[in-house]
A and B are shown apart, each in its own frame.
Chain A
Amino acid sequence: MMAVAMTSAGPSADVVLRADGLGKTFRLGFFRKRVEAVRDVSFEVQRGEIFGFLGPNGAGKTTTLKMLMGLIFPTRGRAEVLGLPVPSLSAKRRLGYLPETPYFYDYLTPEEFLDFAGALCGVPAATRRSRADALIARVGLDHARGRPLRKFSKGMLQRIGIAQALMGDPELVVLDEPMTGLDPIGRKEVRDLIMDLRKDGKTVFFSTHILPDVEMICDRAAIVVAGTLRDVGPLGRLLSARVLSTEVVLRAPAPPALAPPPGTRQHASSDGLRLDIPEGADVDAFLRAALAAGAALVSVSPRRESLEDLFVREATQATAPPRGHS
């Protein structure tokens, strides 16, 4: 766990969100069985970054976010928003939140809903009107201004949800699974919105289990599996640089004397014979031998660890002790 001085100067001055050993144990059922949903989660989100909170379904992402929003009380640990304790009204004034699966008051129109959200954030009535207008235009809902929310599609609800999170002009925007359930166009729109928020100087913290979203827009990410934080850091550091396997494609038909290294998987494809040579094998020696035997080489591509591999690796190691955070 990081030991950073909690003063207004120094490295913590740019920390917008800090979780420090957060944990939650629920008591469930008649026998009050203990279920540890989140264990010792610690991370810091820096000002101006897009931070991905990554984990499979049921990993404890939403529980962690709800603890940060004051919806669930942590059993252990604490959190801060811009140095202010969570939950507190002063901390909540600095953040905007989009819950998972947006359910809003469906009898309201977008204008009414944003006005209500603004009133709760303490925005004066005159500012509310102009801000709501600007946000409705920004999330592309001008055409649905007078329509009640019950007639909105899921993508439209997600967009009005992001707009309501911005009504208080927060410094930190927290989005719980903002891309889930959206079609590719909807996901791109939300991604673009998040990128725009960073351009406006806002810090964005969002949870997701959709890996390409993280790869495309996040500066840093935390990976949570089975309630435990497995790793935190820049994506480049989380993803190992080592080559997991090398894919060699030879033009068909391959020479009969070909002897691939042990453990190689091969299958025929439209562009020839595809060989997946495992990590550690002498690929150079195999290529020399193949060429000498008369093989025609189509391509050689080393396969490095993707976020998906990392996800699977971390999930399968869920029972192992977590690595140190950064």
Chain B
Amino acid sequence: MNRGAAILAIARNTFREAARNKILYSLLFFAVLLILSAVAVGELSLNEEVRMTRDIGLFGVDLFSVLIAVFVGVNLLYKELDLKTVYTILPKPIARWQFVLGKWLGMLTTLGIQIVVMGVVLALTLLAQGGRPDAALTKSLWLLFVNVTIVTSVALLFSSFSSPFLSGFFALGVFVVGRSVPDLRQLAARAGGGASGAVDVVAAVLPNLHLFFPSGAVIGADDAALPGQLLGPGYMAWTTLYGFGYSVLVLGLSMIIFARRDFV
């Protein structure tokens, strides 16, 4: 049998479930609302309306895509177990890893489409303000997508052995710490002692999520006003590789845990 077909069937069903979930639509609605509200905030600035819209808009896409990734990611496997749907699916001729992979792909499709929708709203808003949605905007949105593949994988990993509440808590914790690695480094440098070593360990184990929401400080330039111009091909390729590599590694761990479980 074609193994890919079974994985795609699970991915499609996962996407269909999300597409019929009203909560996701309300989250998307609030994300769009936040992007549009950036226009009002921009009016308060002096000749920086477009930049304000762009920054607040990207922040909105980031915030809501991560919230959706955590919210759906922690429930992805748990819901199947809690609602016992897994008892119908796993006795079918599919391997457990295929099931996990299908769920993950379906989830990423959902997140990808949501980021595209939010991105289009942001681009249209910029256009309406006389700005120009450029390649840097597309690159930033792509990085935010790579960011949520990691967050989804981490949420999935925790949910393969823990309750949704704890998984959500841990996944958000990983996100916050992963995003704060540069700040933690600065703090550790000031504190001295073994703190720098500890941050090195954290940075080596946890995903360096700050790479996906780059500011001037991350890229090594002081001019934080123009991060888009600094997103060169090298940076994009490296972060994409790092993001997908990390995701696949964490996903592999989830598969191993899921494959060994008894579904009592």
Contacts and interface: CB of A to CB of B under 8 A. Distances in A.
Contacts of A90: 93
A69 B17 contact: no
Contacts, number: 84
Contacts of B95: 89
Contacts of B13: 105, 108, 116
B87 interface: yes
B20 interface: yes
A168 B262 contact: no
B17 A105 contact: yes
B33 interface: no
B2 A120 contact: no
A234 interface: no
B89 A120 contact: yes
Interface stretch (A91-99, A220-228, A275-283): A91-99
B1 A93 contact: yes
Nearest to A122: B1
B92 A99 contact: no
Interface string A61-91: 0010010011111000000000000000110
Interface string A37-78: 000000000000000000000000001001001111100000
B5 A119 contact: yes
Contacts of B8: 119
B263 A71 contact: yes
B170 to A, nearest CB: 21
Nearest to A161: B88
A164 B93 contact: no
B88 A104 contact: yes
Nearest to A95: B91
Interface residues of A, number: 33
B9 interface: yes
A121 B93 contact: yes
B90 A71 contact: yes
Given A120-B9, A122-B1, A71 B88 contact: no
B85 A105 contact: yes
A93 B84 CA distance: 21
A4 B91 CA distance: 27
Contact of A92 (B84, B87, B92): B92
B9 A92 contact: no
Contact of A119 (B9, B20, B88, B262): B9
Interface in A148-179: 161, 164, 168
Q: Which of A26, A70, A116 has the most chain B CB atoms closer than 10 A to its own CB? A: A116
Contacts of B10: 120
Interface string B1-44: 11001101110010011001000000000000000000000000
Q: Which interface residue of B5, B88, B264 has the most chain A CB atoms within 10 A? A: B88
Interface of B: 1-2, 5-6, 8-10, 13, 16-17, 20, 83-95, 262-264
19 contacts: A69-B87, A71-B87, A71-B90, A72-B263, A73-B262, A89-B1, A92-B91, A92-B94, A93-B93, A99-B88, A99-B91, A107-B17, A116-B9, A120-B6, A120-B92, A122-B5, A122-B93, A164-B88, A168-B93
Interface of A: 26, 63, 66, 69-73, 89-90, 92-93, 95, 97, 99-105, 107-108, 112, 116-117, 119-122, 161, 164, 168
